[in-house]
Amino acid sequence: MDAAAAAGGSTVFWVIVIGYFIAVLGFGGYFARFNRNTSDFFFGGRRFSWWLITMSIVATGVGSHSFLKYSSKGFEHGFSSSMTYLNDWFFMPLFMFGWLPIIYYMRVRSIPEYFERRFNRGVRILATVSLLLFMLGYIGIGFVTMGKTLLPIIEPHLGWDLMTITCVVAVVAGVYITFGGQTAVIFTDLLQGFVLLFAGIMLFLLGLDYLGGFDAFWNALPADFKLPLSNFNDDPSFNFVGIFWQDAVAGSVGFLFMNQGLIMRFMACKSVQDGRKAAAFNVLLALPISAIAVSNAGWVGRAISNTKPDLLPPDTVPDEVFVRVTALLTTPAGFGFFVAAVTAALMSTVDTLINAVAAVTINDIYRPIQKARGKEGDDKKDLRAAMIVSAGATVIGVLAAWGFSKFDSLYEAHGFFQGTLTPPLVAAIMLAIFWKRFTSSGAIATFVVGAIMIVLGTYFPGVFVRPFDHGIPVEEGENYRYIGALWNLIACFGAGIIVSLLTKPHQAEEHEGLTLSSLSRARKAFKGGEPNDAPGFKRTLTWEVRPELPEGTVQVDQENLHQLAAEEGDLVYVSDRRWWLGGLRSAHAKLEGTHGLGETVLLAQDVSDNGHFLPGKMVTVEKEF
């Protein structure tokens, strides 16, 4: 019996793993009490500080598939396995200064809603279908990853097959996100982000110690395993140019711009500036560390197989390398911790996407149908519907997992999935944001004509993909594994650009605030007046509730109004003075006149309720603009 199977028979292993699951369920139950409405459930009330969102993004970015997927490629190809993790460097500025302020200031609740406001209802429907397929497929990827992680541990003892394990994991994931919502996701991921990075780096250190130090590890690797990038085009199974188009453009741009789950993370920030801080910290520091954390089991595994092939045979199934290396390097208790860390990765990705599916379904399908039927909106009913959709998304994700389990490896399954499904949305979003000449007809062509061309490229790669293959050798009877994403992108961008140039452009007022060229108007629309950017100071004050104040408003005295450099009608952020809460107890409001009570901020009843402020605890007030 190998080390992974042996660990599966250890009591301490299961105590640690099951204990983690119980802790996750406890998080979901606790933070469910902060869900007063769908804004809380989907966006966490738009209240959280940048550092909290950063760790949540780390947990989402590492993903449920990352440890197995990148360890697999690290075992086969070495350090170049991590190159896809650094792609966000190219595209993050476009996100930080283009897409993020547009969706935040225009209060876009979902990506399809953006398409209706930018174009029309028809484009919104196409975007909704595309986005739901993308997110449900991603949920399936997460579930099958967890199943493959636990299979060599559980199967020898319980006889469970891959899909049985997947179903059990899905039940646990579905329960806590169904009741916890975005606030549960963010605070669970704060813990999980630290756990993931700690576990990944700790595994690397254990591997170096096992091999006898860094020099022994380095010398045990073949020369081509030490290259930071794979060869340009001469390996059909893993080449730089194919990976760039599939993972960097179709993958990274898709993840940043169209992943509703990630968008909801940034929408939960207290401000655009905090969202930018989170994005910058993530790309400059967290992503390089994450790349090492998720790939190193493959590097260490190859070094062990080259020096001690009896412990880890060179022909080990790549998707099992992470589990087998971890079991080899740790005790049953330590192995339990690492399996729990991968479970954390699963939860971090799947919880985000299940919550995002619910957001898109409620905002882009359920509410429009209710409105068309003449029914008044009921936020409590919408919240219950969101929970039901979350449960349904979990079930569909399990069905998708069955399909992905048929691929040879997780990397190929994930790559084919994102390279095929993301190009229409990637092209439509990029053109909509950065090209004001992009028309409704062009957007429809991007989705419809682009999808048709993608199907043709999949079945006839020799005709459509080959002219763009950069000389990648392909054996007879095989398709292009990665470069097909380039054709898919060319087809979608091309269809949108050509049709837009042949159709009448929109009037400027039709897309005010929805394009890069009209960001100033988006900011003005968010406030409902001219922004006030005069620098002021934060103020720490006592607080009282005044039910007679209009909803969403607060009052301060004249002196504090001066210290804040604020005017009546300006937006302010009121938060518990304890910064380490990360905005859990906070609310946005508008200044409504002044009072003469000194160092006290008066809150409207709804501001107090939404902020979850505690009696006797002082609050910090800061002007936004």
Residue 301 confidence class, pLDDT cut points 50, 70, 90: very high
Average pLDDT over the chain, rounded to an integer:
81
**Tokens in use for 599?**
């160092």
CA 570 to chain CA centroid, nearest Å = 32
How many residues does this entry show for the chain?
625
The pLDDT of residue 367 is above 80: no
**Tokens in use for 409?**
């490896």
Strands 586-595, 553-557: pairing is parallel
By three-state DSSP, how is residue 332 classified? helix
Rounded Cα distance between 598 and 619, Å, is: 14
| Widest pairwise Cα distance in the chain | 83
Rounded Cα distance between 310 and 329, Å, is: 15
Residue 419 confidence class, pLDDT cut points 50, 70, 90: confident
Q: Are 246 and 413 in contact (CB under 8 A)?
A: no
- pLDDT, greater one: 7 or 294: 294
Q: What is the DSSP letter of 518?
A: G
Q: Average pLDDT, stretch 139-149?
A: 76
pLDDT of residue 378: 65
Rounded Cα distance between 606 and 618, Å, is: 18
Alpha helices in 159-226 (DSSP H): 162-211, 214-219
pLDDT of residue 349: 67
> 398-415 b/e with 16+ CB inside 10 Å = b?
bebbeebbebebbbbbbb
DSSP for 418-455, written as a single string: HHHHHHHHHHHHHHHHH-TT--HHHHHHHHHHHHHHHH
By three-state DSSP, how is residue 550 classified? coil
- pLDDT, greater one: 201 or 197: 201
pLDDT of residue 208: 94
pLDDT of residue 38: 47
- pLDDT, greater one: 422 or 161: 422
At 498, the amino acid letter reads I
Query: Within a 10 A sphere around the Cβ of 619, how many other Cβ atoms?
Result: 25
The pLDDT of residue 209 is above 90: yes
Q: Are 588 and 625 in contact (CB under 8 A)?
A: no
Least confident of 31-45, 57-71, 256-270: 31-45
Q: What is the DSSP letter of 375?
A: P
pLDDT of residue 380: 67
* pLDDT tens per residue, range 581-591: 888 788 889 99
Residue 33 confidence class, pLDDT cut points 50, 70, 90: low
Task: Look at residues 568, 509, 505, 577 and name the one whose alpha carbon lies nearest to residue 543.
Answer: 577
Rounded Cα distance between 181 and 175, Å, is: 10
At 79, the amino acid letter reads F
Strands 571-576, 619-623: pairing is antiparallel
The pLDDT of residue 207 is above 50: yes
The pLDDT of residue 37 is above 60: no
Rounded Cα distance between 37 and 109, Å, is: 14
Task: Look at residues 110, 415, 109 and name the one whose alpha carbon lies nearest to residue 242.
Answer: 415
pLDDT of residue 403: 74
**Tokens in use for 439?**
């028309």
Rounded Cα distance between 48 and 306, Å, is: 48
pLDDT of residue 363: 74
* pLDDT tens per residue, range 424-443: 988 999 999 999 999 999 99
**Tokens in use for 125?**
């429907």
Count how many Cα atoms sit within 13 Å of the Cα of residue 465 in the half-sphere of its side chain.
26
The pLDDT of residue 210 is above 60: yes
- pLDDT, greater one: 152 or 77: 77
Q: Please, which residues bridge with residue 269 across strands?
A: 48
Which residues have C-beta within 8 Å of that of residue 182, sequence separation ≥ 6? 40, 41, 42, 43, 44, 264, 268, 355
Residue 448 confidence class, pLDDT cut points 50, 70, 90: very high
DSSP for 481-492, written as a single string: SSTHHHHHHHHH
The pLDDT of residue 256 is above 60: yes
- pLDDT, greater one: 494 or 413: 494
At 196, the amino acid letter reads L
The pLDDT of residue 24 is above 70: no
Residue 155 confidence class, pLDDT cut points 50, 70, 90: low
pLDDT of residue 186: 61
pLDDT of residue 43: 47
Q: What is the DSSP letter of 10?
A: -
- pLDDT, greater one: 41 or 494: 494
Rounded Cα distance between 257 and 212, Å, is: 44
Q: What is the DSSP letter of 377?
A: P
Rounded Cα distance between 114 and 536, Å, is: 33
